[in-house]
A and B are shown apart, each in its own frame.
Chain A
Amino acid sequence: MSGLIWLHEDALRSDHPVFAAAGDGSPAFFVWDDAYLQAMDYGFKRLVFIYESLVELPVTILHGDQQTCLARLARQHGGSIYVPATPNQLLQNRIEHLQRDFDVVEVADTPFVELAREPDLGRFFRYWNKARKAAMSRGGGR
C-alpha cells in the first residue's frame, strides 16, 4: 500500500484511520480551495479555526483547486489517494470526479456505535432505542 493522503476539513486530526490505511510515510495534503470555501459560505471565524487546526497537523497546505491539485499530486506520487470518508456532498462530488482517473480509497472514522443492522432514522428516539446500549459502552460496542 502506498499513495498520498488528502485531508479535508471534516477530519483535521493526525490519528484519523486514513493515516494508518495509507501506510507510514505517506505524504498528506490539505488543499485551501477558495471556490470550495465560498461554496460552503464560511465566515472569517471559521476560516481562522480551520487554519489554526491545520498548522498543528503533519500536512502540506496547498492553495488551489482541490481537484486540480489532487490530480497533479496523484500523478507525481503514483499510487492511491486515501481520503477520510464524509457525507459532505461537495467533497463527495470531488471524490467521485477523482475516481474516474485514480484509485481513491475512502477511509471511515472510528464509529460512535457499531450496530448489527442499519437503524430506523425516522426519528431520533427510534435510533437511540437501538443505539443506546452500544453508545453507553466504551468503544461503542466494538
Chain B
Amino acid sequence: MKELPRDFDSREQLVEQVAGLSPWLDRRDVSPMIGGAAPAAERLRVMDPVAYGRTRNFLDGAVTCLSPYIRHGILTLDEVRNEALARSEQPARVEKLVQELAWRDYWQRVYARHPERIWNDVEPYKTGFSAADYATGLPADIAAGETGVGAIDQFIATLLRTGYLHNHCRMYLAAYVVHWRRIRWQAGARWFLHHLVDGDPASNNLSWQWVASTFANRPYIFNLDNLRKYASADINTSARDNAVLDASYEELSARLFPRLEVAA
C-alpha cells in the first residue's frame, strides 16, 4: 500500500509516472484530451448547445467533447444540462443536446437494472443472421486500421492516435465492423473500450448493440452518399477508395442482409 505522487512539473513527468505504473501496456501515446476539473470547465465554457443542435452530425460540427469528463464523473449530466439551458432564452434550441445527455442517463439506467446486458445480446439480431453467423474476434486489419476502405482506415487511425472519435464516426465504424465484416458487436465494443478515453461499458456496449440490431428494431447501416454529406474535408470519400460503401441503401441491404430479402 504505497502512496503515489501527486505533484508533477509537467504533463511529460506525469505521463512518465503512469508509464512506470503500467508495464503491461505497450502503446504509450497520450490523448489530446486532458483529465481534470480545469480542462472540463474550459470545455463546458466553450460549449455551444444551439450550434450543437444544428451541426452535431457533421464530423466538423460543434460537438462538445465533454464525454470523457461525464464518463468519469468530473462533470454531472445535471450540471451540463443546467449550463445548456442557461445559454439560450428558448429551451427548444438546446433540446438536442439535452436529449443526447438523456441517452447517457438512459444507458446508465439500463446498466444498473440489467448488468448482464453489457456483454450479452439483449435481443436476437434482426439481420436475417443469428449470433453464430458472426465471427467472435476482431480481424487484424481492422485493429491496425488497414482495411483498405479509405474513410474507415482514417477513423481507425484517429481512434488509435487520439482516443476519441466523433459519435457519427463511431456509428460508421461499428456498422462496418458488424455488418460489412460480420463480426460480433462484442469484439468491436471491447476494442473501443480499450482505446476510447471516454469509453463506458453502458454507453459504448449498448450503442454497439443498437447498431448491431440486438438492442434496436433494425440494423444501422450507412452508405457513401451519407458519409459524403457529413464528412469533413480531410476525410477520403472517393468512390475508388470506398467501393464497398458506394451503393444505394436498397443495394447495400440486399448485399449485407441477403436472408432478409429472401424472407421479404
Please give the residue numbers on chain A whose beta carbons come within 8 Å of chain B beta carbons, in ascending order: 9-14, 16, 32, 34, 37-38, 40-56, 60-64, 68-69, 72, 84, 87-89, 92, 109-113, 119, 121, 124, 127-128, 131-132, 135-140
Contact = CB atoms under 8 A, between A and B. Distances in A.
A72 B105 contact: no
Given A44-B22, A72-B1, A138-B82, A12 B190 contact: no
A3 B115 CA distance: 29
Contacts, number: 180
Given A37-B22, A136-B95, A139-B78, A62 B4 contact: yes
A45 B73 contact: no
A128 B99 CA distance: 8
Given A52-B35, A112-B77, A139-B78, A64 B197 contact: no
B197 A124 contact: no
Contact of B199 (A46, A52, A63, A64): A46
Given A45-B163, A128-B102, A54 B22 contact: no
Contacts of A46: 163, 196-197, 199
B204 to A, nearest CB: 12
B38 A112 contact: no
A140 B76 CA distance: 12
Contacts of B35: 12, 48-54
B1 A63 contact: yes
Interface of B: 1-8, 11, 14-15, 17-19, 21-22, 24-25, 27-31, 33-38, 68, 72-79, 81-82, 85-86, 91, 95, 98-99, 101-106, 108-115, 118, 162-163, 190, 193-197, 199, 201-202
B91 A45 contact: no
A84 B73 contact: yes
Given A37-B22, A88-B201, A109-B76, A139 B82 contact: yes
Pick the 7 closest A-B CB pairs, nearest first: A52-B35, A53-B35, A11-B73, A45-B163, A112-B77, A87-B112, A45-B31
A101 B253 CA distance: 56
Contacts of B19: 44
Main secondary structure, interface of B, reads helix
A98 to B, nearest CB: 15
B136 to A, nearest CB: 16
A53 B15 CA distance: 13
B141 to A, nearest CB: 19
A41 B15 contact: no
Contacts of A41: 190, 193-194
Contacts of B95: 136
Given A49-B35, A61-B3, A109-B76, 11 more contacts: A34-B22, A41-B194, A45-B31, A53-B37, A63-B4, A87-B115, A112-B78, A112-B81, A131-B105, A131-B106, A132-B102
Given A51-B14, A89-B115, A128-B102, A42 B78 contact: no
